[in-house]
Copies of this chain bind each other. A is one copy, B any other.
C-alpha cells in the first residue's frame, strides 16, 4: 500500500509556476469528465482538450470537472486557464506529492488531500473550488468518488440541491472515508503481530512490524495535515463556503480526528511490539542459556569424577594410591555417587524452576 513515494521536486532553481509531468505520471492518459447539474437534471460527458475553453456551469447549477491522469501539462494548463487557477496552484497539482492543505487564491480555493485506499498506492487528490465550479485532479483512474457520482446522477440526498461547496465536501468526505478500511487492515495486522511476536521472535517478525510502522507513518502523514486543512476551512470565513456546509465539514473534520486517534493507538501498539520483540529475544536467549547451564552443570562434575578414576596412579606402589579401584563395590558405589550428584543438581534446578 504505502509504496515509497518521495517528493518529486523540480530541478532546483526551476522558475515558479513551471508545469512538467513527472516520470510516474507519464503513462496515464488524461481523461476529463464533466458533470453539469442543478436540482432538476444532470448531464455527464467526456470532454476533449478542445472543448475545455467552452466549459461553463449550467445556469443556477454546478459544474464538476474531474481530471484523471496528470501526464499532459498542456491539458492541465488549459483547464487552469479556463477557470483562472493560479500558476502556483497548478504547479502543486502536478508536483506530487504535496502535503494536504487548503489555500486561498483570492476568490478561489485549492484543497489537496492524499487518498490511501487499500490496497491502492497513495494518490494525490487536488480540488479547485470557484463560484459554481469544482475541478478535481487525480493521478490515475479509479477513486472513491463513485458513490458521489451516483448521488449526483440520481439526485439522491441533497447534493443536487446544494452549491459547489457541498460537492467539495462530498468529495473530501469520500477521500477520508476510504481511510477507515485501510486502518482496519493495519489494525488487524498489528493484532496478528501481537500473537506472532511472542511465539516466533525471528527477524522476519521484526521486519513485518517495521513495515506496519512505516505504513502507519504514511497514513499519519496523509491524515494529520488533512485535519489542519479541514480545521482551517471551518475557522476562516469565506464566501465560497456557506455556513450550512460547515456543519458537514465539521463532521468531516471529526472523522479526521477519529482517524488520528486510530493511527496513534495503532502506532503506540506497534511501538510496544518492538519492546515485546526485544523481550522475547531476551527470553529465548535465557532459555538457551538455561539448557546449556543445566547440561554443563550436571555433567561437568560427573566427568571430573570419572576423570579421577581414570588416573593411572600405581596402586601397587602404595596402599594410598587409589585403593578404591580394587574395592569390591567400588564401581557400583561410584555410579551411585554420580547418580546422587546428578540428582542433587536436578533438584537444585527444579527448585530454581529452570527445568
Chain A residues near B (Cβ < 8 Å): 6-7, 9-10, 12-17, 86, 88, 91-92, 98-99, 101, 103, 105, 117, 144-148, 151, 156-157, 170, 173-174, 177-178, 180-181, 184, 187, 198, 203, 206-207, 210, 213-214, 217, 221, 247-248, 250-251, 254, 257-258, 261-262, 265, 268-269, 272, 274-286, 288-293, 295-297, 299-304, 306-315, 317-318, 320-322, 324-332, 334, 354
A331 to B257, CA, bound (A): 77
Q: By the criterion CB–CB under 8 Å, are B174 and A12 in contact?
A: yes
Top-6 shortest CB links A-B: A13-B147, A306-B307, A12-B177, A309-B311, A318-B328, A9-B180
Q: Which residues of B contact A265 (CB under 8 A)?
A: 217, 221
Q: By the criterion CB–CB under 8 Å, are B317 and A326 in contact?
A: yes
Q: By the criterion CB–CB under 8 Å, are A272 and B213 in contact?
A: yes
Q: By the criterion CB–CB under 8 Å, are B306 and A295 in contact?
A: no
Number of this chain's copies in the assembly equals: 5
Q: By the criterion CB–CB under 8 Å, are A6 and B144 in contact?
A: no
Q: Which residues of B contact A247 (CB under 8 A)?
A: 86, 88, 105
Q: Which residues of B contact A198 (CB under 8 A)?
A: 203, 207
Given contacts A274-B275, A279-B281, A313-B334, 17 further A-B contacts (CB under 8 A): A12-B144, A14-B177, A16-B248, A88-B251, A98-B254, A206-B276, A277-B279, A284-B286, A285-B289, A286-B288, A288-B290, A288-B293, A302-B307, A306-B310, A314-B326, A314-B330, A317-B328
